[in-house]
Chains A and B, each alone.
Chain A
């Protein structure tokens, strides 16, 4: 019987932890919607191009960070190899995009 009570204790601990985590995720979601709204508003306001483009790109990167770390749990334990491979992919993606926007010109 002791086994069972232990498991119940663990379960109740896990449940609180999950509830806590769920709260974080809802906050993440609210932030993401807010960021999206800001990005759209900035573009709709027709501010200067040199400000708008870096700004909305930054918002996008932060949003994607939220997705990866909170929604996809990349912040959790056991994701070390996963995140190193994802960052590898992001690095190659960045180099690719950089090349295509700088040295293809005719």
Chain B
């Protein structure tokens, strides 16, 4: 259980994210948390699935959804997943600058995704007067997709504060686990999105 965080990374072939006890704990803790998040999102999905026909005379999913924007959002988020994989690859090779660069691209893609989502919501509210209060379908839709969006916002703040904080300090055994846990969390956001675009948007388009 080494506590010396200034350990030289160059001579170590171990994964810097899991070389210390704290690193291991963080890694496991985040994974277990994701296990809980699975049930959290399952509950939102289940609620959405049982309420998706309950439009109370308001707009239905077929009237609302369009494929183009959702496809763009999907590509943005999937690509951001790949860029964070690149970042972790450079972390393992102890290349701090390239890691920061790839994480920077990840953050930009995440922001672009969020911008699309905000545009989409605004579009529904202004064009269709479809809101959180319109119907049970509306409540369930905005809650499910909104909670995913909230996770993206949280992830972006996490990533940006990590990058700013460590910009001048380089990689160490103290901050490598933090970057690594962020990356896993970010992939999980992507996992949830895969189900959102399939279950909410694509299944909502099928008549």
Contact = CB atoms under 8 A, between A and B. Distances in A.
A and B touch in the complex (CB under 8 A): yes
Interface of A: 4, 7, 10-11, 14-15, 18, 21-22, 25-26, 29, 32-33, 36, 39-40, 43-44, 46, 49, 52-53, 56-57, 59-60, 63-64, 67-68, 71-72, 78, 81-82, 85-86, 88-90, 92-94, 96-97, 99-101, 104
Contacts of B187: 67, 71-72
A63 B194 contact: yes
Contact of A90 (B28, B31, B38): B38
Q: What's the dominant secondary structure at chain B's contact region? A: helix
A33 B39 contact: no
Interface residues of B, number: 50
B162 interface: no
14 contacts: A4-B11, A18-B89, A22-B89, A39-B197, A39-B202, A49-B207, A60-B199, A85-B31, A86-B38, A89-B39, A93-B38, A97-B42, A100-B46, A100-B49
A67 B81 contact: yes
Contacts of B47: 100
Nearest to B70: A40
Interface stretch (B71-79, B109-117, B145-153): B71-79
Interface of B: 11-13, 18, 28, 31-32, 34-39, 41-43, 45-47, 49-50, 67, 70-71, 74-75, 78-79, 81-82, 85-86, 89, 92-93, 184, 187-188, 190-191, 194-195, 197-199, 202-203, 205-207
A30 to B, nearest CB: 9
A93 B50 contact: no
A86 B93 contact: no
A10 B46 contact: no
Contacts of A63: 194
A100 to B, nearest CB: 3
B194 to A, nearest CB: 5
Contact of B46 (A14, A68, A97): A97
Given A86-B38, A100-B46, A53 B203 contact: yes
B194 A104 contact: no
Contact of B206 (A22, A43, A60, A67): A43
A100 B12 CA distance: 50
Interface centre among A59, A88, A89, by most chain B C-beta atoms within 10 angstroms, is: A89
